Amino acid sequence: MGFMEPEREVRAISEYEQARREKLGKLAALGVDPYGSRFDGVEGLGAIRGKYDPANEEQVVRGAGRVVLLRDIGKLIFLTLRDWTGQVQAGLTGKLLEERGWQAAKLLDLGDIVGVEGALGATKTGEITIWARRLTMLCKATLPPPSKWHGLVDVEQRYRQRHVDLFSNPEVVRRFLERAAIIEQVRVFLRGRGFVEVETPMMHPIAGGAAARPFVTHHNALDIDLYLRIAPELYLKRLLVGGMERVFEINRSFRNEGLSTQHNPEFTMCELYQAYADYGVMLELLEEMVGGLAAARSAEMRLEFGGRLIDWRRPWARKTYAELFAEHAGFPLTEIDKVRARARQLEVGEANMEDAVVVNEVFEKVVEGKLINPTFVLDYPAALCPLTRRKAGEPGVAERFELMAGGMEIANAYTELNDPAVQEENFRRQLRGQAETMAVMDEDFVQALKYGMPPAGGMGVGIDRLVMVLTNLASIREAILFPVLRPAGGG
């Protein structure tokens, strides 16, 4: 069938839906509930395929799935059923099914969900097949699947109808199962090193923990504005003060900023803190953790991303921020006139920016995209890092690193600042000219530090981006089940 004009396609779909609704009534007349009920004893269809034994023709199996292929050749109907473990063929015939089951089989459509029970065998062509002795209707689909089951192709439609994307594109299901596996491996790794998983608030009275524009909401009972968290950092550090020495949280954070292939306003981080450590400990921890994730996906520790191979073999490159700036910009970051001139060339509105911010704008544009293999960028300008301890003997440098891979930031880590007086002054400095992001100082956090927080290392790992580079996804939207989208039909 060739391409249909939109008007004809809408009319055709409406006709298909009407035909399926009529089948609902026919199923009800047979005494068959078109929306099914509990169906116990189900095995994964992938496992059913794997247990086929040609020497055992009496092996009875029980499975369920969505009909993705249907061939009705009169006295025999072949269904291909799919679940999240795989797919298998089912053969239906009036000789094996009871009369009502056979009549129900004649009312099946693509997209229906059914259960089958029968002997596991094969056709003459060798196709592994469940020869159904019982057919159970579990859900009648009243809308047809897209494009004769070729799947959703339009990217925007795939994101808006992720439910259809998942059942019509098996590779998308595999991707998100892989994401779940990565998160579970992170949890297992951290627990194995003595970290405890915790939960901290998602609604904050003060927007803090990072420099970003927050989402604002209102609590009616208390009649106060609250902010969806931009980071859990300040609450996790309170736990260090309280004596919980190794904590982590896999959290949802929110930043009211732009959309791109690397940014979604709602995103997932793993943030962790370890007492009596520093950013060097965090570096070693991260290299071991992410290196293990890469090794689990490639024995050679080389994974494709964006048409290139990322080499995850350890040790990873370690370079200072200043070294990388000079290498890629062609002059040192201390030559501010040249930095600002380059910023203007890059169309950065630098006129009202502090020097350190301009330096970082240039760094992000001329350096970050060049760092394909994993690289630790060490020792950031202190003015960019209000929550970070300064390097001994170098007050202008902060003990901070970012891990870059695939041309983007994957993780960010500090030696945490635990001097309350310095922290208070840093907050005051950050507040100047940043009313939009931090209008109020978090005095409660400063007070918490006055009770004493042990020296510590802290780190945040972007889970969505980590999944991107480990599974070769071009956009962060491919790593998130339900990314933020413009309203349908919007400009």
User: What would the pLDDT profile of 334-351 be if each residue is shown by its tens digit?
Assistant: 999 999 999 999 999 989
Bridge partners of residue 266, in order along the sequence? 254
In 3-state terms, what secondary structure has residue 130? strand
CB atoms within 10 A of CB 190: 21
25-45 as b/e: b if 16+ CB within 10 A: eebeebebebebeeeeebebb
**Max CA-CA distance within the chain?**
87
Q: What distance in Å separates the CA atoms of residue 268 and residue 438, rounded to the nearest whole number?
A: 22
How would you list the strands of the sheet with 224-228, edge to edge? 203-204, 224-228, 216-219
Please state, in angstroms and as integers, the Cα–Cα distance from residue 148 to each residue in 67, 91, 145, 466, following that order.
12, 21, 7, 34
DSSP labels for 376-388? EEEEEEGGG-TTB
The pLDDT score that the predictor gives to residue 433 is 53
Range name among 107-121, 146-160, 268-282 with the lowest pLDDT average? 146-160
Whole-number pLDDT of residue 211: 73
Q: Of the ranges 55-64, 383-392, 422-431, which one carries the lowest mean pLDDT score?
A: 422-431
- What is the β-pairing status of strands 128-139 and 86-93? parallel
- pLDDT tens string 28-53: 999 999 999 999 999 999 999 999 99
Instruction: Say what the pLDDT of residue 295 is.
Output: 97
Closest C-alpha to 91, from 125, 120, 51, 112: 120
Q: List pLDDT tens digits, range 116-166.
A: 999 999 999 999 999 999 999 999 999 988 764 445 567 778 888 888 888
How confident is the model over 90-116, as a mean pLDDT?
Answer: 96
Cα–Cα distance, 306 to 296 (Å, whole number): 20
Instruction: Establish whether the linkage from the previous residue to 386 is cis, with ω within 30° of 0.
Output: no
Of 407, 368, 410, 472, the C-alpha closest to 186 is 410
**490: confidence class by pLDDT, cuts 50, 70, 90:** low
Question: Is residue 358's pLDDT more than 50?
Answer: yes
pLDDT confidence tier of residue 431, bands split at 50, 70 and 90? low
The strand pair at 302-305 and 375-381 is best described as unpaired
DSSP of 397-428, one letter per residue?
A: EEEEEEEEETTEEEEEEEEBP--HHHHHHHHH
Q: Mean pLDDT score of the chain, rounded to an integer?
A: 91
DSSP state, 370?
G
Q: Give CA–CA dist 230/213, Å, rounded.
A: 8
Query: What are 119's strand-pairing partners?
Result: 60, 131
Name the phi and psi angles at 408, rounded to 5: -145, 160
d(CA 113, CA 136): 9
Q: How far is CA 227 from CA 325, 326, 462, in A?
A: 35, 39, 21
Whether the Cβ atoms of residue 319 and residue 377 lie closer than 8 Å to each other = yes
